[in-house]
Structure 1
Amino acid sequence: MSSLYNQLQGTGVALITPFTAQGFIDFNALSKIIDHVIDGGAEYVVTLGTTGETPTLGKFEKTDIVKFTYDKVNGRVPVVVGIGGNDTNALIKDLQNYPLDNAVAILSASPYYSKPSQEGLYQHYKALAEASPKPILLYNVPGRTGRNVTAETTIRLANEVKNIAGIKEASGDMGQCIQILRHAPKDFLVVSGDDALGLPQIACGMKGVISVAANAYPKEFSDMVRFCLANDFAKAKTINDKLVDAYNLMFEENNPAGVKAFMAEMGLISNNVRLPLVTLSASVYNRVKAYMATR
């Protein structure tokens, strides 16, 4: 088994990007968040994922966040960097120019809006893998991109492209997940991208979750995932049942507006997002506060 396969089992946290009221990156808050998730037991962090509002971050901001994350993490856990989009040539340049020496892998969301064919998706990822100095993790999230990376395409990439090491699978299609798990090479890392489906997907053979909810609840979520990986699903279910309402609230209007509301109530961040996102409506925010009051 590859070292990456072993390194990235368990809970990865798709870090949010905290902002000040003036819209600048709040590095003090980011420092607190990184400590919060590592101290909470997360196995690794993902910086510049879509939960980090990357479409609204400038290139220099992204570089600053990556460098800050490396420095703050300081080798305590592995760091995965998100580099994805729908301009293959631009992404190849990013892979060559971003500070990636301290990353263990690249998480790359499939091309959005363009809706390429399955052959187009294959060629896109093949080109990225050939240019990347680090292993590539596919990220399939058709609810956001508009195009599903099929199980057949994932398996083809896993078998034919050397530098593709795994997938964050967030199609929500359990049948598709089972096909990937059934046919993928043994050292191909398959992790969930759906907090609410993490438990059953690990039961099917996935090796963990890249989580949004773990920004707010790293200890509970990481413990739940570890119980799943140890095949103790009764204990995992007890924790998961307490988090189900939180998952629903986090995704009811928008991610990361939902999880940011939780984190603001915890005193980790100021409750700010960048347009076109807006903060949670008052009615949902009040339900967040009510949920947190019961914990």
Structure 2
Amino acid sequence: MEQLKGTGVALVTPFKADESIDWNALERLINHVIDGGVNYVVSLGTTGETPTLSAEEKVDLIKFTFEKVAKRVPVVVGIGDYNTKDVVKRLEKCPLDEAAAILSVAPYYSKPSQEGIIQHYKTVAAASPKPIILYNVPGRTGRNMTAATTLRLAHEVENIVAMKEASGDMVQCMQIIKDKPKDFLVVSGDDALALGQLACGMEGVISVAANYFAADFSSMVQAALLNDFPAARALNYKMLEGFDLMFAENNPAGIKAFLHHAGLLENSFRLPVVPVSNELYAKIGDFLKKY
């Protein structure tokens, strides 16, 4: 998992006004983040509006991302669901030969017990041809994966190699870092908390903000990993207001507003996601003029 230390970026899925996928914009975005210095990209993360994509579109997006990344950086593929059997089927059907790992979100909506989460992940790991990155994001799933659950999976399942932790609970994060296996990778899923979590011992971030702030975010993470916290703090505080604006109403509506201001893609979505309000869009523009 050395290749997944540093900055990963959860790519948005650009849409045209007619809601079709904007492949040219996705290629521009991929080049933008790689040129900015990110260490790897994540295809089909939540930021990519995956709940609105068909099974065929998901396969096309994976193939397109592999083609345009062209092995310049590793590619992680997001495959998760609240139906364990469906995750297993998708692992079998998706083109994963070039994937570095699978990012798999904890089962959502069903709100399983901790034992249910453990058995879900053990089943997924047994079926996966690639290493599994756990993803805890209780704000979206409705159920927190406790530190004890994460640590049990980390110690008991060989094919579970990393964790994207987005609970926002700093104590829980430290408990995981303190007792994890030596070679188990823990990365942040909270852009605004990432610097503090890196200081606690996390080894990277899977970021939304790096879609736009690719160079500065990557530089911040690398500085922190080198224990150059004065440089990391300066970059973090430069971006901090941007983080707040980006997540004020919705993700990915916020990051797409930033990318639209930059001319990288259209400000288009599939329902139920809609663009940010005119007021927030104007505030983002004002921030970027200063930035």
1:98-148 CA-partner distances (Å, limit 9, x unpaired): 000000100001111100000000000000000000000000000000000
Q: Which amino acid aligns with 2:76?
A: V
The code of the aligned residue for 1:278 comes to V
> Partner residue of 2:88?
92
- 2:10 corresponds in structure 1 to 14
Find the aligned partners of 1:116 and 1:196 in 2 and give their Cα distance. Answer: 28
TM-score (normalizing by structure 1): 0.98
Percent of residue pairs bearing the same amino acid type: 61
- Structure 2 length-normalised TM: 1.00
1:235 to 231, 235, 238: 231
Residue 244 of structure 2 aligns to a residue whose secondary structure is helix
What is residue 23 of structure 1 aligned with on the other side?
A: 19
> Offset at 1:241?
0.3
Residue number in structure 2 paired with 1:36:
32
Deviation at 1:41, TM superposition (A): 0.1
| Pairing partner for 1:286 from 263, 282, 285 | 282
Structure 1 position 120 matched with structure 2 position 116: yes
Secondary structure of the corresponding residue to residue 21 of structure 1: coil
How far off its partner does 1:85 sit?
1.0
RMSD: 0.4
Q: Which letter maps to 2:45?
A: G
Aligned to 1:272: 268
Measured against aligned partners, the alpha-carbon deviations of 1:167-217 in whole angstroms (never above 9, x if no partner) come to: 000000000000000000010010000000110000000001000000011
| Correspondence 1:145 to 2:141 | yes
Map of 1:245 onto structure 2: 241
Gaps of 5+ in 2: none
Aligned-partner residue type, residue 141 of structure 2 = T
Q: Structure 1: how far apart are the matches of 2:290 and 2:30?
A: 26
Deviation at 1:273, TM superposition (A): 1.1
Q: Deviation of residue 160 (structure 1)?
A: 0.4
* d(CA) in 1 for partners of 2:153, 2:36: 34
Deviation at 1:43, TM superposition (A): 0.2
- Cα distance in 2 between the residues matched to 1:98 and 1:289: 38
Which residue identity does 2:78 align to in structure 1? G
Of 47, 50, 59, the residue aligned with 1:51 is 47
How far off is 1:17 after superposition?
0.2
Residue aligning to 1:216: 212
Q: Distance in 2 between matches of 1:244 and 1:217?
A: 11
1:83 maps to which residue? Answer: 79
